[in-house]
Chain A
Amino acid sequence: MAGLQETVKKKIRVLIAKPGLDGHDRGAKVVARALRDWGMEVIYTGLRQTPEQIVQTAIQEDVDVIGLSILSGAHDVLIPEIVKKLRENNLEPGKNILLIVGGIIPKEDIPELKKAGVNEVFGPGTPTTEIIKYIEENVKKLERVV
């Protein structure tokens, strides 16, 4: 119920997730820690998550943001699947949840991912402050039912 008590200071909740078999999670961990140090509540899934597991965790943890980290090139298949499962659960990226992606993503793939529903892609070399700024600005715009 969206009550009067809904507090402005509610901490932003973020799920950092590693879909697929990719085992490189340096970036995921660094981002998770930077967001946490900034004051967000961060849940990290660990490795080898299926799209279904990621969406279920996002729902259970009632997160505002899902940050996916993929370095194995599997984004073309895994991300549309995650978006599909989010929509099946009435979660629409950019509307009531933010879906952001980091990792090794060729520039030419970014328009395709955005078309599929991804809100933003952060490539190698992105400062964590840029990700924090993006999240803070865009979570505000979400329609969140508390």
Chain B
Amino acid sequence: MVDLEKVSEELKNWEAKNAKDLQRLGEYINRSGIPIKIVYTPLDVKDLDYLKDLSFPGEYPFTRGVYPTMYRGRLWTIRQYAGFGTAEDTNKRYKYLISQGQTGLSVAFHLPTQCGYDSDHPMAFAEIGKVGVAIDTLKDMEILFDGIDLGKITTSMTINSTCPQVLAMYFCVAANQGVPNNQVGGTVQNDILKEYVARGTYIYPPEPSMRLVGDVIEWCYQNAPRFNSISVSGYHMREAGCTAVQEAAFTLANGIAYIEHVVKRGIPVDNFAPRVSFFFAAQRDLFEEVAKFRAMRRMWAKIMRERFGAKNPRSMLLRFHVQTAGVTLTAQQPYVNLLRNTLEALAAVLGGAQSLHVNSFDEAYATPTEFAVTLSVRTQQVIAYESKVTATVDPLGGSYYIEWLTDQIEEKAMEYIHKIDDMGGAVTAIEKGFYQREIADASYQYQKDVESKKEIIVGVNEFITEEEIPVTILKVDPEVRRRQIERLKKVKSERDNVKVKNALENLRKSAEKGENIIPATFDAVRVYATIGETSDVLREVFGEYKASTII
């Protein structure tokens, strides 16, 4: 046992001996506003109760990991977010990624699909196939997964306000392949709250949108027990500029709002909570990120057990996907991004992620080329197979600094969550612009710190080279627009339009009645009703959201 009194005494001696240097250094405060000491000792973790605060991997409160053996038992899923052009283009990319050792798929949809517009809508034209794959109807989805066994691979889909339609399309493709609903694995993002805060692909006002989120969760737990019905996401709020503490707080507060919504429907928490998953960013401060992941695991376990009375340990698990931070990519000296991405990916692995996307070095210019994406996959493989960081679970656990920082992040994030509770919960806090203001302030402060060189960014405000480094950029063929609009026309002319009309009418009735709209959505997409047609029906019933802007 450590003699804490003796340590305390010796620490004082050490501080006295080095007083000059310590004074000269001044204070370092990290981006979450936490002052960081020059050294941590057993004194900083003297109240730590191993069994209560950390315990073993796979044991409450899961600080050290959600599974007992973690990466020794099974590596994280290598899941690169990808999509561009038409379904054919993206299908080819998926097959390539799988051939390079990727172990899961992640679909990037183009913005019109995410915002409920068909490719022939005036708002869509400029965006067709740009930041994701163009999906208008089930036909596109069939092509997207052609030759890919949906019974074997899991797919994550970044889809929110049009989640019901895309979910239905995916399960229709699986069914056509002979894979029953209960064998389909994967994830839909289905997290509308952060869209109002940061990402912007909302369609309807918060209340009906929350209902759609609930419909998806309800349908999934009843029909698709292997499918994650939501991925509560902090990533985009972090990218928009918030701190690690704010990311933890806002995401878990949103998670609380979703759990409350579904519980209010009379569904017992343990029925659906095991399929609630999460998505976070891995940013520049490596140890802060590791501490953030550990803190959030402990926080969510406590929230689920104490606040919601969950009994099933699986309901308490914070299972999460991580993506390295897009905002840390620089257009200057772009190859340096490979190094940043590696460190950020390492933070995710040391933090116990279940699934990982590593950004590509060319993404400050455009969506990545095949060459750049291959290096992202290789980054993951080097960490997984060469670095040996996977040999033991939570290797940083027990570090004075990491344990102290884990506590700090939990404490500060819980303060935010209490504040959000006092405002009436996440939905109200977002409607009032609370998250948005906090994020805008943090991102503006960061920009000022970069410009004053308080924050150093290699190649941007220090170590600048004038030399232009050539980078090959992915160009989406403008022909994609014509091809996609033509396919949409063809599908519309070949489908049974009477069936479509009836299905859309049933969808409307279902939405008006307040029943779960997922079955009616399946009936509509199955007869090739489009994303735009189905969204328009719901727009008529629910209305459209008009954002207020907060600078």
Contact B366 A21 (CB under 8 A): no
- Using A77-B126, A78-B126, A127-B461 as known contacts, list a sample of 12 further A-B pairs with CB atoms less than 8 Å apart, ordered by residue number in A: A19-B126, A21-B117, A22-B131, A24-B239, A26-B239, A46-B549, A47-B200, A73-B127, A76-B126, A123-B364, A127-B451, A129-B451
What is the 8 Å Cβ interface bit string for chain B, positions 199-217, against chain A (1 contact, 0 not)?
1110000000000000000
Among candidates B111, B195, B451, B548, residue contacting A21 with C-beta atoms closer than 8 Å = B111
Contact B443 A30 (CB under 8 A): yes
Interface residue ranges, A against B (CB under 8 Å): 19-26, 29-30, 32-34, 36, 42, 44-48, 50, 72-74, 76-78, 81, 104-108, 123-125, 127-129
Closest to A25 in B: B200
Contact B330 A36 (CB under 8 A): no
Bound CA span A107–B117, Å: 30
Task: Tell whether A104 pairs with B366 under 8 Å between CB atoms, given A21-B112, A72-B130.
Answer: yes
In the complex, B457 has a CB within 8 A of chain A: yes
In the complex, B123 has a CB within 8 A of chain A: yes
Chain A residues lying within 8 Å of B447, measured Cβ to Cβ, are: 30, 34, 128
Bound CA span A36–B444, Å: 12
Chain A residues lying within 8 Å of B131, measured Cβ to Cβ, are: 22, 72-73
Contact B199 A23 (CB under 8 A): yes
Chain A residues lying within 8 Å of B389, measured Cβ to Cβ, are: none
Among candidates A72, A107, A123, residue contacting B111 with C-beta atoms closer than 8 Å = A72
Contact A29 B451 (CB under 8 A): no
Contact B126 A23 (CB under 8 A): no
Bound CA span A12–B460, Å: 28
Contact A73 B123 (CB under 8 A): no
Chain B CB count within 10 A is highest, among A36, A76, A129, for A76
Closest to B327 in A: A26
What is the 8 Å Cβ interface bit string for chain B, positions 355-378, against chain A (1 contact, 0 not)?
000000001111100000000000
Contact A73 B367 (CB under 8 A): yes
Bound CA span A55–B150, Å: 47
The contact sample of 8 A-B pairs, CB cut-off 8 A, is A22-B200, A26-B239, A48-B123, A48-B200, A108-B473, A124-B329, A125-B331, A127-B451
Chain B residues lying within 8 Å of A26, measured Cβ to Cβ, are: 239-241, 327, 443
Contact A20 B126 (CB under 8 A): yes
Q: How many residues of B contact A (CB 8 A)?
A: 48
What is the 8 Å Cβ interface bit string for chain B, positions 105-145, against chain A (1 contact, 0 not)?
00000011011010000111111001100000000000000
Contact B440 A23 (CB under 8 A): no
Contact B551 A36 (CB under 8 A): yes
Closest to A74 in B: B126
Contact A125 B332 (CB under 8 A): yes
For chain B, residues 424 to 467, give those with C-beta under 8 angstroms from any C-beta of chain A. 440, 443-444, 447, 450-451, 457, 460-461
Contact A106 B127 (CB under 8 A): no
In the complex, B7 has a CB within 8 A of chain A: no
Task: Tell whether A73 pairs with B444 under 8 Å between CB atoms, given A20-B123, A22-B200, A123-B331.
Answer: no
Task: Tell whether A72 pairs with B127 under 8 Å between CB atoms, given A21-B115, A128-B451.
Answer: yes
What is the 8 Å Cβ interface bit string for chain B, positions 296-340, against chain A (1 contact, 0 not)?
000000000000000000000000000000010111100000000
In the complex, B476 has a CB within 8 A of chain A: yes
Chain A residues lying within 8 Å of B443, measured Cβ to Cβ, are: 26, 29-30
Among candidates B330, B367, B440, residue contacting A125 with C-beta atoms closer than 8 Å = B330
Chain B residues lying within 8 Å of A34, measured Cβ to Cβ, are: 444, 447
In the complex, B11 has a CB within 8 A of chain A: no
Bound CA span A77–B125, Å: 8
Chain B residues lying within 8 Å of A20, measured Cβ to Cβ, are: 111, 123, 126-127
In the complex, B547 has a CB within 8 A of chain A: yes
Contact B551 A32 (CB under 8 A): yes
Chain B residues lying within 8 Å of A76, measured Cβ to Cβ, are: 126, 478
Closest to B332 in A: A125
What is the 8 Å Cβ interface bit string for chain B, positions 525-551, against chain A (1 contact, 0 not)?
000000000000000000000011111
Bound CA span A32–B364, Å: 21
Chain A CB count within 10 A is highest, among B127, B443, B450, for B127
Task: Tell whether A46 pairs with B440 under 8 Å between CB atoms, given A20-B111, A74-B127, A127-B451.
Answer: no
Closest to A75 in B: B126
Chain A residues lying within 8 Å of B461, measured Cβ to Cβ, are: 127
Bound CA span A125–B478, Å: 28
Contact B200 A23 (CB under 8 A): yes
Return B428 CB to nearest CB of chain A, in Å.
21
Contact A33 B366 (CB under 8 A): no
Among candidates B363, B444, B549, residue contacting A30 with C-beta atoms closer than 8 Å = B444
Bound CA span A72–B127, Å: 7
Contact A104 B365 (CB under 8 A): yes
7 closest A-B pairs by CB: A23-B200, A77-B126, A21-B111, A74-B126, A46-B549, A73-B130, A125-B460
Bound CA span A106–B101, Å: 29
